[in-house]
Amino acid sequence: MRLSAASVLAMAGLIPLSASAATLVADPASVVNPFIGTSNAADDFPGADVPFGMVQWSPDTPSRPDGGGYEYKDSSITGFSLTHLSGPGCGADGDVPILPTVGTVNTGATDSFSHANETADAGYYSVGLDNGVKTELTTALRSGISRFTFPSTSQANLLFKLNGSQNGTSNQTWTVVSPTEVSGSVTSGHFCGAGFTYTLYFDLVFDRPFSTSGTAAAPAVTPKASPDKLHGTSKAAAAPAAPAAGPGSSYVRFDTTTNRTVQAKVGVSYVSVANAVANRAADIPGFDFNATHTAAHNAWNAMLGKIQVAGGTTAQQRVFYTALYHSLLHPNVFSDSNGQYIGFDNQVHTVASGHSAQYANFSGWDIYRTQAQLTALVAPTQTSDIAQSMIADYAQGGGLPKWAQNNGETYVMVGDPGTAILASYYAFGAKNFDTSAALQAMLHEASAANNIRPGLNATNAPGYLPANGTYQCCNFYGPVSTQLEYDTADFALSAFAGALGDTANQQFYAGRAQNWKNTFNTASGFMQPRDAGGGWTGGFNPASGSNFVEGTSWQYTGMVPFNVAGLASARGGNASLISYLDSVLAGFHGSGGSQADLGNEPSLELPWEYDYVGQPYKTQKVVRQVQDQIWTDAPGGLAGNDDLGAMSAWYVFSALGFYPMTPGTADLALGSPLFTQAVVSLPSGNTLTVNAPAAADNAPYVQSATWNGGAWNNAYAPTSAITAGGTLAFTLGTSANTGWAASSPPPSYDGTLPHLGPVSSGVAGKCLDVATSGTANGTHAQLYTCNSSGAQKWFSAADGSLQAQGGCLDVSNSGTANGTKVQLWQCNSSGAQKWQAGTAGALVNPQSGKCLDDPNSTTVDGTQLQIYDCNQSAAQSWTRG
């Protein structure tokens, strides 16, 4: 049979499949290319795993400093370790590398290989090493099985590099249980330099006895340089300064002169070796490698098949299903087959009743924008368990996961992503978790001093995070970025509260989410840092990263995903925002700091903002450009760090033709589909179908659309799209239809900012003032000439406190005597910070029964205020503006 040139090109993935040949992909697991994202910055790994699996058995190579462990450009392998993270920016996991060698045992050995002898698909990895050993790996949920085919030799070794975790190990144990079984543990951690550690236990059995075993001191592990996600610099990952305690490296040796194949099954646990044994026995009772591989393949098909696509090129299908695959690796199952897991309090717990597993590993700052919504849509059962896991983490550790590795919080990055993640899980259909407990956790993090929201004390008053503020908490940096992150978290909290019927908190947090207006400078048209006194800091350069996090003002100014219309209005109208978008999206790689960086999360929503300002055709154009320019079917074909699936999820949504723009809601801004058809199985059991018969790489422009057969002229999907489902059909073309949906943008959500106003004295022209616009504990609360400065803008909180400059009006030392001075102090909900309205305009401190008082009715600026017996004088009369 002779194939036409067009058929050959289609098979090579270079031209679209014809409409007649475009059928829904029936075996998506076979389409996955795990080598996408294994080079440059993406940091993914190619090894074997199952959806959300505890084990990711994958090769590690010498130059890789990150959680993926593997660099495609390398030509040797240091080991096949049991745990990995997909695309973080710092080293992580890589625990218990196992390396097959031949001949004399060399604890520092590496094995060279050629990619020509390497294959991988969803749930399977294989490589033929230059030493003659073929290694095959596949996994189940909490375990894995390997098949090593050695040359004929009496010195076939398996080397266990127990101190070879990505960040080294502080302790290792090793036990030869029997001639066919070994077990042990390693302690590691220190993600991005954090102090947190964890212990992984393992137990491994062979299908035949080994001839001998031993231990040897391994070479010292040198900390690897890795990108510091915290500050965007490069630093050494934490590792022991001296040789780690324990055996370092151990080995077992087989005689393969007559039987060249050695199979090994391993179970892991973060609780105990006994649980690792039980996990292995539950997952893989026999030594049937092929059956385990088939089960892994089927598990991936069951999950990937939730979204079926037709059409596109074969390369585009591979990129799509690999992106979906990468989106479903994390968070990982963390509990054992008996339900036990180690909690954030380092105690052993059991999975919550009604749930199947505890999950771990949250790249919060990254995944709340895309991956959280996608997992809820595709895997609502698992995602509901993930949500319940977050609630357990809060109960055990005092905070929702921010950037959590295994059972510890690292506090890497900024914002309060746990709130947005939970709210988006719920909005996208994963609802089987304790929503009341979730809301209470969100409210606590949004209102009480905690390590998740450093600088929280400034969010009510002055309503922004000052660049020179003083805070009594941890890891505070990048105030403008952090402010915008808190605003998004507040909006997501508002949406979640509203969905649960809590209208009071819905309204308050929808209003406080608008604090972005306090950091937006209408004169420059950019988000800018402000000082504690309310002024814009000097020397501002929108292309600089100063006071921002992994980005610049150019990239962050558009980061108001819940109120793009409000941002456009603040800039002076749609035309001004369009001008900004045209400029920042002229490039996608952050060149000079004045262009978008579509390889990093702060820029992800920018292309979709054209939908909100009357130019949806530009969203269609730019999204396709991004897809074509920075996503390819190649090892380097994934943009930036994948960040536990965050970047991959962006691609999945964009290829379907829509994007979850507003965290905490089910709102979908529309682009255009990449495939002729996509069928999404929804959490409700309904189906969302996207049809675009003319879809092609050069035809991104929507000419018209229908919803369930009726004309659809909106730049957003129907609100019922991901619940009731339906059919969204596009007519696409190669030229822009500038009129389609131009006057029907997706929803934006405004709100009433918390009221900040003066507290005027009964003494004419004088106000309650924070001395020198200070923010430190003990700063005087004083009388001063009214001047509308931030030091005189007070917020009346629901708990009865009066707040300004990030602190609360406080009676010194909780005093009750006449003349006790009044000051600014960190808000703590104590009686010293409660104030109630009294007669004749008085502000009464109920703990002391005394009134806020201007000593001797003075009119002198700078006089520190006090409490005194209530007397209804002008010195005790205060009017809140």
Four-point Cα dihedral 417, 418, 423, 426, nearest 10: 130
Residues 28-58: tens digit of each pLDDT: 999 999 999 999 888 999 999 999 999 999 9
Measured distance CA(328)–CA(649) in Å, rounded: 9
pLDDT of 4 over the 70 cut: no
Bridging pattern class, strands 687-691 and 726-733: parallel
Helices H / strands E in the chain, number of each: 16, 47
Structure confidence at residue 533 (pLDDT) = 86
- According to CATH, what is the number of the domain 756-880? 2.80.10.50
CB 446, CB 457: distance < 8 Å: no
pLDDT of 451 over the 90 cut: no
CB 417, CB 425: distance < 8 Å: no
Three-state DSSP state, 527: strand
By CB neighbour count within 10 A (0-12 exposed, 13-18 middle, 19+ buried), where does 724 fall? Answer: middle
Structure confidence at residue 590 (pLDDT) = 84
What backbone phi and psi angles, to 5 degrees, belong to 396?
-90, -30
pLDDT of 213 over the 60 cut: yes
Residue 463, both tokens? 């309503």
Instruction: Residue 462: name the closest of 766, 761, 771, 795 by CA.
Output: 795
The whole-chain average pLDDT of the chain stands at 92
Structure confidence at residue 22 (pLDDT) = 72
The sign of the torsion formed by the CA atoms of 209, 210, 216, 218 equals negative
Residues 683-725: tens digit of each pLDDT: 999 999 999 999 999 999 999 999 999 999 999 999 999 999 9
Residues 426-453 have a mean pLDDT of 95
Residues 400-419 have a mean pLDDT of 96
pLDDT of 749 over the 90 cut: yes
Structure confidence at residue 472 (pLDDT) = 52
Measured distance CA(61)–CA(668) in Å, rounded: 40
By CB neighbour count within 10 A (0-12 exposed, 13-18 middle, 19+ buried), where does 718 fall? Answer: middle
What backbone phi and psi angles, to 5 degrees, belong to 816?
-125, -5
Q: How confident is the model at residue 20 (pLDDT cuts 50, 70, 90)?
A: very low
Structure confidence at residue 227 (pLDDT) = 43
Q: How confident is the model at residue 465 (pLDDT cuts 50, 70, 90)?
A: very high
Measured distance CA(796)–CA(835) in Å, rounded: 9
Which superfamily does CATH assign the domain made up of 307-733 to?
GH92 mannosidase domain (3.30.2080.10)
Measured distance CA(634)–CA(426) in Å, rounded: 35
Q: Tell me the whole-structure pTM to 2 decimals.
A: 0.93
Which own/partner pairs from 563-566 qualify as long-range (CB within 8 Å, at least 24 positions apart)? 563/491, 563/513, 563/514, 563/516, 563/748, 563/749, 563/750, 564/609, 564/612, 564/613, 564/661, 564/745, 564/746, 564/748, 565/612, 565/745, 565/748, 565/750, 566/514, 566/517, 566/748, 566/750
Measured distance CA(705)–CA(45) in Å, rounded: 39
> At 836, which helix (H) or strand (E)?
strand 836-837
> Considering the chain, what percentage of its residues have pLDDT values greater than 90?
86
Residues 653-681 have a mean pLDDT of 98
Report CA 258 to chain centroid distance, whole Å: 51
Indicate the angle between helix axes 574-584 and 564-571, nearest 10 degrees: 100
Measured distance CA(187)–CA(218) in Å, rounded: 16
301-332: string of b/e by CB count within 10 Å (b at 16+)? bebbbbbbbbbbbbbbbbbbbbbbbbbbbbbb
CB 848, CB 792: distance < 8 Å: no
The CATH fold assigned to 31-303 is: Beta-galactosidase; Chain A, domain 5 (2.70.98)
Distances (CA, A) of 303 to 195, 331, 432, 745: 35, 15, 19, 33
Q: How confident is the model at residue 627 (pLDDT cuts 50, 70, 90)?
A: very high
pLDDT of 11 over the 60 cut: no
Instruction: Please report the beta strands in 276-345, taking only residues with DSSP state E, as ranges in sequence order.
Output: 307-310, 332-333, 340-342
Instruction: Residue 822: name the closest of 845, 792, 800 by CA.
Output: 845
Indicate the DSSP class of residue 611: G
What string of DSSP letters covers 28-74?
Answer: GGGT--TTTT-STT-----SB--TT-S--BEEE-TT--STT---TT-
Strand order in the sheet with 759-761: 781-785, 766-770, 759-761, 878-880
Residues 807-816: tens digit of each pLDDT: 999 999 999 9
Distances (CA, A) of 298 to 28, 121, 155, 157: 10, 12, 37, 32
Indicate the angle between helix axes 314-327 and 646-656, nearest 10 degrees: 130
Structure confidence at residue 532 (pLDDT) = 86
Strand order in the sheet with 822-825: 756-757, 794-796, 802-804, 807-811, 822-825
Measured distance CA(626)–CA(588) in Å, rounded: 7
pLDDT of 1 over the 90 cut: no
Return the domain boundaries, the chain.
Answer: 31-303, 307-733, 756-880
Residues 583-598 have a mean pLDDT of 92
pLDDT of 369 over the 80 cut: yes
N-term to C-term CA, the chain: 86
Instruction: Please report the beta strands in 415-493, taking only residues with DSSP state E, as ranges in sequence order.
Output: none
What string of DSSP letters covers 809-823?
Answer: EEEGGG--STT-BEE
Residues 250-266 have a mean pLDDT of 97
